[in-house]
Amino acid sequence: MSGVGPVGRVTTMLEQAGYEGLDQPRSIGGVPFEFAAMLVGRTSLDLIAVLDLAIDTDEGRIRRLIEALARALDLVSSRRSLTVILVGPRPPQSLIQAIAEVARVLAVGTPAEGDDASLQDALAVLLPLELVTENEEKDDGWSDWEDARKRLLAEHPSELATVLGAAGRGQTAVTEALRVLLTAPFEGEEDDDEGKAESK
């Protein structure tokens, strides 16, 4: 099924993220279950059931099926968390609320071929985080410390020259430079207050 139609696009993305498709029907607690697709996490305790609402349109049957699956997982004391992915036409809010009582619900609509960005957004909670490494160029131009240092000095020359100069001397020097920078305005106010008090 991978890659074929909206359900296939969902399963392909999940498989590429490390999930494993299950053969169906799948017996849990002696009860056979079958969905448009079922997947489990290889490195997580996720169990994912995918429903195609373009084919399975009986709201009552869907609710009973998901509730039965949740009960079966409880009966076998499964540690897996259940996620239900609804593919196809927008489901009624009543159906989403009913399923949400026993599972996490992701309604992904009908992902178009090639629209990976929208599908990634819809499945984000199941996908691994993409971390930017320090060697990757960032869109805002802050590609390295030297560039960041120059920009900070250009925008705040008087305030940051002392702090950035202290950076080469270690954390204690930076902390002291920041303390001086942040307390200077208040010290000025204290002097003013003392002058006013003496004048009275």
Q: What is the pTM of this model?
A: 0.63
Q: Which domain holds residue 161?
A: 145-192
78 and 22 together in one domain? yes
CATH number, residue 88? 3.40.91.50
pLDDT confidence band for 190 (50 / 70 / 90) = low
pLDDT digits (tens, 9 = 90+) for 61-92: 999 999 999 999 999 999 999 999 999 999 99
Q: How many domains does the chain have?
A: 2
pLDDT digits (tens, 9 = 90+) for 38-55: 999 988 899 999 999 999
Q: What is the mean pLDDT of residues 99-117?
A: 88
For residue 50, report the phi and psi dihedrals to the nearest 5 degrees: -105, 130
* 173 contact partners, CB below 8 Å, separation of at least 6: 166, 167
pLDDT confidence band for 1 (50 / 70 / 90) = very low
Q: 97 pairs with which residues across the strands?
A: none
pLDDT digits (tens, 9 = 90+) for 4-35: 789 999 999 999 999 999 999 999 989 999 99
Q: 167 pairs with which residues across the strands?
A: none
Amino acid at 9: R
pLDDT at 106 over 90: yes
107 and 72 together in one domain? yes
Characterize the bridge pairing of strands 37-41 and 31-33.
unpaired
Amino acid at 172: T
Taking the C-alpha atoms of residue 181 and residue 160, their distance in angstroms, rounded to an integer, is: 9
CA distance readout (Å), 156 to 56, 159, 163, 165: 61, 6, 11, 13
Give the Cα-Cα-Cα angle 79, 84, 86 (nearest 5 degrees): 170
Q: Which two tokens stand for residue 83?
A: 């996620």
Residue 62 lies in a domain: yes
106 and 77 together in one domain? yes
What is the average pLDDT value for the chain, to the nearest integer? Answer: 82
Residue 137 lies in a domain: no
Q: Which two tokens stand for residue 180?
A: 């001086």
Go through 84-93 and write b for each residue having 16 or more CB atoms within 10 A of its CB, e for each that does not: bbbbbeebee
